[in-house]
Chains A and B, each alone.
Chain A
Amino acid sequence: MKVLLSWLREFAPFEGEPQALAESMTDLGMVVEGIETVGANWDGIVVAKVLSLRKHPEADRIQLVDVDAGEGEPLQICCGAFNMAVGDLVPLATLGTVMPGGLEIARRKLRGEWSNGMICSESELELGQDHDGIMVLDGSHTVGQPLADALGHETDTLFDLDIEGNRPDALSVAGVARDLAARLGIAFALPTPSVGEVDPPASERVGIKVTAPQLCPRFGYRVLDNVSIGDSPPWMAARLTAAGMRPINSIVDISNYVMLELGQPNHTYDLDLVDGKTIGVRMGRDGEMVKTLDDVDRKVTEADGVITDGSDRVIGLAGVMGGASTEIGETTTSVVLEAAVWDRMMIAKTSRRLNLRSEASTRFERGVDPFGIELALDRFAQLAVEICGAKVATGAVTFDAAPISQPVVNVRTSKVNHLLNTELTSDDIAALLAPIGFTATPAGEGTLDVTVPSWRPDSSIEEDIVEEVGRHHGYSKSGKRVPTPTQAGGLTPAQRNRRRLRQALLGAGFSEAMPMPFLAPGDLAKVGLDVEGLALTNPLVAEESILRSTLLPGLLKAVARNESHRIEAVSLCELGRAFAQSDEELPNEFELIAGITSGYSPEATAAEVAVRALRRFCADLGLSGVQVDNAAMPGLHPTRSGSVRFRGKTIGAVGEIDPRVSEAFGVSSRVAWFQLEVAPLLAALESTPKFKAISLYPSSDIDLAFVTPNDVAATAVLRTLQSAGGATLRSVDLFDVFRSDQLGDDCRSLAFSLRFQADDRTLTDDEVAEARQKCIDAAAANHKATLR
């Protein structure tokens, strides 16, 4: 909403710097987003009197004008206009003046004659479009007086306000002025237009028939005759332009002007084009069509309110846009002027359905003042008389669907002071509310009955009134204090551990990515999942229409993106939520953590890199018992992938991404991957490991190398050793894998180092030998492993 300071001043005598006014408006919640100076600067332009007119000796199209500019000596001016006479008062731009158009006036010679200034036209003063000659001033003015003083001209200030949805009243110059005047404690008054009327009365000229009272709580109209349509006067055109509306013709401009000034949208019909001289209001019917003012044929539905003529034909969409068939044109002489109140929801639905938002529909949606109709009709009529020479038929006709009463809200002084941290009395509250139209009357001890003004449809409960009191008292007067919770702040164990999970991945060299959680329809199939992802009803684009159930596509796309920018070494991780179908009220939502790497370790396979990263991650967190078992996992290289098992459950996958999958996402390198469910990890991290005393006795180390068939997993042998080693086995580590021709294609040697130690004694050689033999026997029995 753009408002001119000069226009605001028509309602209240605002003074002071525009910046200070802007701060007050912002503090009232009408946020000033911009302040702009508009209007021509006339500094240096004075009133001058024509003393004599002489022919230029060398030119026919220029004459020499001697003027008195109040400096005693006459000044010779060369002038290209001939529409002045001796004795006329004219505007003179003196030497040094910078004209509104940017031209600087200097003493110069024209065809050998000096010109000591410039006599100005209206267009040069930016007063109008009239280029025919210079401006001759009406009336008597003092010679030498600044022109701006003589004509009462001043530059204007344009405020650009951000008006919130709850303040339809502030979508008008008058509404802004009312709020601002109240804050500044100055008098505010609405215009009181007086309209001369002629018979026959409007009610006899045009009939009204409302058959949808739920759509139209109030409807009013006037009839104007003898209307002559032309351009609107410069001042009106200038104001509309400043407010962001294009001047069209005098009647349309008056309509917009009244809407901007008072907030009441209104509509004009060429009466001669209204069949049957009757205006009807009813709900639309499926199949009906109407051509709106923007020349678009639109379908009407049963949910739309429509305006009809005497033949029940649709001639407009109620509150949204008028119809082309009754549009005001140059030949229009009689006008029906409508001002109505429409149901907010119906207007909202129609304008949404048609994607047709107008200045009118915006105001109707938010709620216009139901009792603003009469003033708007009168103001329009007054301006039409002044500008278009209109004759106004007697009476403004109004239709009321039902009596409208204003809500009365019981407000407790204690509630106001409690919420605002103030110590206001009932009188203080009433005094703050009165200037913005809320009337408060005492209603028993410490309470007020506050009647909400008709232009504030947003206000209906006690807290709404508290906000009004707060706004006008000033939010800053509530002060600042910090509440003191009786609890200690903190993160839950899960929240703390989630940070640890992320930190562990960062420590392992993964940088945190944030891919979008939306996938394209085929993405899940591409990574080997045959589940149907949870679909979005209204995705922005089809490529983002499925919610992820795995982090793989998002992170793989991120690798592809890096690769395409020639960043070959990539290591990314993510901890985020994924989704799956469910029969519950909400979809199944679960957290996943994943790491993806390519290009860092040329000497190791991606599968090895993945397993190492996973092990390091688990070791960092102190999670023991995370098992990797060879298994073909969806999306992963079938012979280079494994399942991750923890506490008896599969909680993820690890390995190399299937090259075919990588390719499908545009990645050419081999990619290491692991992904785990977060919930089991968080659960495990909840329990704190207990201290284990460190043995003071020496340990004994032995190495065992087994020739083992290839199809026996190394971890299987390791687990066998772990259980066979007995209570004194402290650790088992696989430290070497060896293949050779001697061993053959089917086997490889697995070398383990085992450490034995007791808490209470030094182990004897016999004890260690016995444990060693048990390990060898168990490996042989379970895995056909033979000691090398």
Chain B
Amino acid sequence: MGTKSVDDLQRQLQETEALATSAIEGASTTAELAAVKQDFLGKGSALTKIQSQLGGLDPSDRKAAGQAVNASRSGIEAIFGRRLTTVADEERGVQLAAERIDLTEVSTVNDQPSGHAHIVTQAWEELEDVFVGMGFRVAEGPEAETDWHNFDALNIPPDHPARDGFDTIYVQHGEPRSTLLRTHTSPVQIRAMLAQEPPIYIIAPGRVFRQDTADATHMPVFHQLEGLVIDRNISLADLAGTIEAFTESYFGAGFSSRLRPNHFPFTEPSAEFDIQRPDGSWLELGGCGMVHPNVLRAGGVDPEEWSAFAFGFGIDRLALLKFGIDDLRELFTNDMRFLQQF
């Protein structure tokens, strides 16, 4: 070949570039572009054929010819790349418009909502967590309890007038009036003492029963939390400090507590404990005191070696207070609209 051949090649390249440019600009989809790319840059393309002819050129021309082919290829690729971006953007625009969803149309009305824990359970577990954080363990006892654990062992002998106040529900089991539905969580104190040696730091949340007609502040079934601490040198100050630490932890900063004298058969000295809200108002919360020596003895604990305090309060009431509910019966309607609120 001679110079003519190089010129010829240049002409071929120009033609090819012109055809390619026209084809690329004429393609309007990415699929068409892919076909065009195959036609002008692929294995069977004119450009590839020209490239295969380079070997037949005069060695002195070969370099220049090679550069010319590469330049053509780069030029076509650049045009192709620009066109592809444009076409792809257009296609994406069409796709996005077609896929538009109005998120505000989404409805959950037919979905099954997730379940909610009962607010008594929520309060119960929160209380457990607070006391666990203070080093307490959680003790349990039966709901159907012996008369002895519920009364005698707690320094309330048979015929004691205090028994009247408990409105006990008895169960037909064993001797008449030997089995009852526990009227308070205090029998768990006795069970804990009989089950383990002091020191003892326990709480006992649980369900309790009274023969009460349901009204805004009474239910025949409700929930209490009992606390018992037996150790050496436990005093009224330990009781007051424990109540205070619990108050701050459960109710939050700005809440404090006080003890004032009261009477319970199972504690001596006895106290009521009140919580003071940040606004200065008081909330009567529960009963407490130093465990009566007769109760310690019933649990097999020597009152000369160990001293103890106990406290108890209602869980349901805390749930009511937390959510601003003024009628205890609301808690137990089992109405989905109530349960799903919290």
In the complex, the answer to whether B143 meets A512 with C-beta atoms within 8 Å is no
Q: Does A379 lie at the interface of the complex (its beta carbon under 8 Å from any beta carbon of B)?
A: no
In the complex, the answer to whether B164 meets A352 with C-beta atoms within 8 Å is yes
In the complex, the answer to whether B258 meets A476 with C-beta atoms within 8 Å is yes
Main secondary structure of the interface of B (DSSP, over half): mixed
| Minimum C-beta distance from A606 to chain B (A) | 14
* Choice from B237, B268, B334 contacting A466 with Cβ under 8 Å: B268
- In the complex, chain B residues whose CB is within 8 Å of the CB of A115: none
Cα distance A505–B340 in the bound complex, in angstroms? 14
- In the complex, chain A residues whose CB is within 8 Å of the CB of B115: 505-512, 571, 573
Cα distance A429–B121 in the bound complex, in angstroms? 46
- In the complex, chain A residues whose CB is within 8 Å of the CB of B159: 345, 348-349
- A383-404 residues at the B interface, CB under 8 angstroms: none
- The 0/1 profile, CB within 8 Å of A marked 1, for residues 160-200 of chain B is 01101100011111101101010000000000000000010
Cα distance A54–B136 in the bound complex, in angstroms? 88
In the complex, the answer to whether A537 meets B176 with C-beta atoms within 8 Å is yes
* Choice from B170, B174, B260 contacting A26 with Cβ under 8 Å: B260
| Minimum C-beta distance from A126 to chain B (A) | 34
In the complex, the answer to whether B142 meets A475 with C-beta atoms within 8 Å is no
In the complex, the answer to whether B132 meets A547 with C-beta atoms within 8 Å is no
Q: Does B224 lie at the interface of the complex (its beta carbon under 8 Å from any beta carbon of A)?
A: no
In the complex, the answer to whether A511 meets B116 with C-beta atoms within 8 Å is yes
Q: Does A740 lie at the interface of the complex (its beta carbon under 8 Å from any beta carbon of B)?
A: no
- In the complex, chain A residues whose CB is within 8 Å of the CB of B245: 482
- In the complex, chain B residues whose CB is within 8 Å of the CB of A489: 131-137, 201
Cα distance A511–B122 in the bound complex, in angstroms? 12
Q: Does B229 lie at the interface of the complex (its beta carbon under 8 Å from any beta carbon of A)?
A: yes
Cα distance A488–B136 in the bound complex, in angstroms? 7
Cα distance A517–B270 in the bound complex, in angstroms? 33
B176's closest neighbor in chain A, by CB? Answer: A537
| Minimum C-beta distance from B152 to chain A (A) | 14
Q: Does A58 lie at the interface of the complex (its beta carbon under 8 Å from any beta carbon of B)?
A: no
Report the number of A-B residue pairs with Cβ-Cβ less than 8 Å: 253
- In the complex, chain A residues whose CB is within 8 Å of the CB of B144: 534, 547, 579, 586-587, 589
Beyond A164-B262, A514-B334, A540-B211, whether A475 also contacts B177 by CB under 8 A is no
A559's closest neighbor in chain B, by CB? Answer: B334
Q: Does A495 lie at the interface of the complex (its beta carbon under 8 Å from any beta carbon of B)?
A: yes
In the complex, the answer to whether B112 meets A571 with C-beta atoms within 8 Å is yes
Beyond A418-B235, A483-B242, A489-B131, whether A513 also contacts B339 by CB under 8 A is yes
| Minimum C-beta distance from B337 to chain A (A) | 7
- In the complex, chain B residues whose CB is within 8 Å of the CB of A513: 118, 334, 339
In the complex, the answer to whether B339 meets A536 with C-beta atoms within 8 Å is no
In the complex, the answer to whether A463 meets B268 with C-beta atoms within 8 Å is yes
Beyond A345-B159, A482-B238, A534-B173, whether A585 also contacts B221 by CB under 8 A is no
In the complex, the answer to whether A586 meets B120 with C-beta atoms within 8 Å is no
Cα distance A365–B162 in the bound complex, in angstroms? 11
Q: Does A28 lie at the interface of the complex (its beta carbon under 8 Å from any beta carbon of B)?
A: yes
Q: Does A419 lie at the interface of the complex (its beta carbon under 8 Å from any beta carbon of B)?
A: yes
A167's closest neighbor in chain B, by CB? Answer: B263
- In the complex, chain A residues whose CB is within 8 Å of the CB of B136: 485, 489
Cα distance A345–B161 in the bound complex, in angstroms? 8
In the complex, the answer to whether A470 meets B261 with C-beta atoms within 8 Å is yes
Cα distance A660–B10 in the bound complex, in angstroms? 95
Q: Does B3 lie at the interface of the complex (its beta carbon under 8 Å from any beta carbon of A)?
A: no
In the complex, the answer to whether A482 meets B242 with C-beta atoms within 8 Å is yes
Q: Does A302 lie at the interface of the complex (its beta carbon under 8 Å from any beta carbon of B)?
A: no
In the complex, the answer to whether B114 meets A507 with C-beta atoms within 8 Å is yes
Cα distance A431–B134 in the bound complex, in angstroms? 38
| Minimum C-beta distance from A175 to chain B (A) | 15
User: How big is the A interface, by class?
Assistant: 35 or more
In the complex, the answer to whether A480 meets B213 with C-beta atoms within 8 Å is no
Cα distance A463–B179 in the bound complex, in angstroms? 31
- In the complex, chain B residues whose CB is within 8 Å of the CB of A589: 142-144
* Choice from A461, A481, A499 contacting B268 with Cβ under 8 Å: A461
- In the complex, chain A residues whose CB is within 8 Å of the CB of B331: 514
| Minimum C-beta distance from A768 to chain B (A) | 39
- The 0/1 profile, CB within 8 Å of A marked 1, for residues 243-278 of chain B is 011000000000000111111000011111000000
| Minimum C-beta distance from A182 to chain B (A) | 13
In the complex, the answer to whether A28 meets B199 with C-beta atoms within 8 Å is no
- In the complex, chain A residues whose CB is within 8 Å of the CB of B132: 489-491
Q: Does A611 lie at the interface of the complex (its beta carbon under 8 Å from any beta carbon of B)?
A: no
Q: Does B128 lie at the interface of the complex (its beta carbon under 8 Å from any beta carbon of A)?
A: yes
Q: Does A110 lie at the interface of the complex (its beta carbon under 8 Å from any beta carbon of B)?
A: no
- In the complex, chain B residues whose CB is within 8 Å of the CB of A581: 173
- A495-525 residues at the B interface, CB under 8 angstroms: 495, 499, 502, 505-518
- In the complex, chain B residues whose CB is within 8 Å of the CB of A573: 115
Q: Does A744 lie at the interface of the complex (its beta carbon under 8 Å from any beta carbon of B)?
A: no
In the complex, the answer to whether A538 meets B170 with C-beta atoms within 8 Å is yes
Beyond A467-B269, A479-B237, A480-B240, whether A488 also contacts B135 by CB under 8 A is yes
In the complex, the answer to whether A536 meets B172 with C-beta atoms within 8 Å is yes
In the complex, the answer to whether A509 meets B161 with C-beta atoms within 8 Å is no
Beyond A28-B261, A509-B113, A561-B334, whether A481 also contacts B293 by CB under 8 A is no
In the complex, the answer to whether B201 meets A485 with C-beta atoms within 8 Å is yes
| Minimum C-beta distance from A487 to chain B (A) | 6
Interface locus among A237-245, A437-445, A562-570, A753-761: A562-570
| Minimum C-beta distance from A614 to chain B (A) | 15
Q: Does A381 lie at the interface of the complex (its beta carbon under 8 Å from any beta carbon of B)?
A: no
Cα distance A464–B233 in the bound complex, in angstroms? 18
Cα distance A488–B132 in the bound complex, in angstroms? 8
A28's closest neighbor in chain B, by CB? Answer: B261
Q: Does A128 lie at the interface of the complex (its beta carbon under 8 Å from any beta carbon of B)?
A: no
- The 0/1 profile, CB within 8 Å of B marked 1, for residues 546-564 of chain A is 0100000000001001100
Cα distance A586–B172 in the bound complex, in angstroms? 10
In the complex, the answer to whether B170 meets A537 with C-beta atoms within 8 Å is yes
| Minimum C-beta distance from B193 to chain A (A) | 16
* Choice from A421, A483, A514 contacting B229 with Cβ under 8 Å: A483
* Choice from B116, B172, B229, B244 contacting A506 with Cβ under 8 Å: B116
Q: Does B234 lie at the interface of the complex (its beta carbon under 8 Å from any beta carbon of A)?
A: yes
Cα distance A523–B197 in the bound complex, in angstroms? 44
Cα distance A547–B199 in the bound complex, in angstroms? 36
Q: Does A140 lie at the interface of the complex (its beta carbon under 8 Å from any beta carbon of B)?
A: no
Q: Does B125 lie at the interface of the complex (its beta carbon under 8 Å from any beta carbon of A)?
A: yes
- The 0/1 profile, CB within 8 Å of B marked 1, for residues 29-71 of chain A is 1010000000000000000000000000000000000000000
In the complex, the answer to whether A512 meets B231 with C-beta atoms within 8 Å is no
Beyond A470-B269, A485-B201, A515-B334, whether A476 also contacts B235 by CB under 8 A is no
Q: Does A114 lie at the interface of the complex (its beta carbon under 8 Å from any beta carbon of B)?
A: no
* Choice from A464, A479, A585 contacting B240 with Cβ under 8 Å: A479
- In the complex, chain A residues whose CB is within 8 Å of the CB of B292: 463
In the complex, the answer to whether B171 meets A165 with C-beta atoms within 8 Å is no
Q: Does A544 lie at the interface of the complex (its beta carbon under 8 Å from any beta carbon of B)?
A: yes
In the complex, the answer to whether A419 meets B335 with C-beta atoms within 8 Å is no
Beyond A466-B268, A508-B115, A585-B174, whether A517 also contacts B135 by CB under 8 A is no
A540's closest neighbor in chain B, by CB? Answer: B211
B173's closest neighbor in chain A, by CB? Answer: A587
In the complex, the answer to whether B307 meets A419 with C-beta atoms within 8 Å is yes
- In the complex, chain B residues whose CB is within 8 Å of the CB of A491: 128, 132, 137-138
24 pairs, CB–CB < 8 Å, chain A vs chain B: A27-B260, A27-B261, A366-B161, A419-B269, A466-B290, A467-B261, A479-B241, A480-B240, A482-B245, A483-B201, A486-B199, A489-B135, A490-B137, A491-B138, A511-B116, A511-B340, A514-B334, A537-B170, A544-B220, A561-B333, A567-B335, A567-B336, A586-B179, A587-B173
Instruction: Beyond A463-B293, A475-B261, A582-B173, list 7 extra A-B contacts (CB 8 Å).
Output: A476-B259, A483-B234, A485-B134, A485-B231, A565-B335, A576-B207, A587-B179
Q: Which residues of A contact B (CB under 8 A)?
A: 26-29, 31, 164-167, 344-345, 348-349, 352, 365-366, 418-421, 458, 461, 463-464, 466-467, 470-471, 475-476, 478-492, 495, 499, 502, 505-518, 534-540, 544, 547, 558, 561-562, 565, 567, 569-573, 576-577, 579, 581-582, 585-587, 589, 600-601
Query: 6 closest Cβ contacts across the A-B interface?
Result: A29-B261, A467-B269, A421-B237, A506-B115, A164-B263, A485-B135
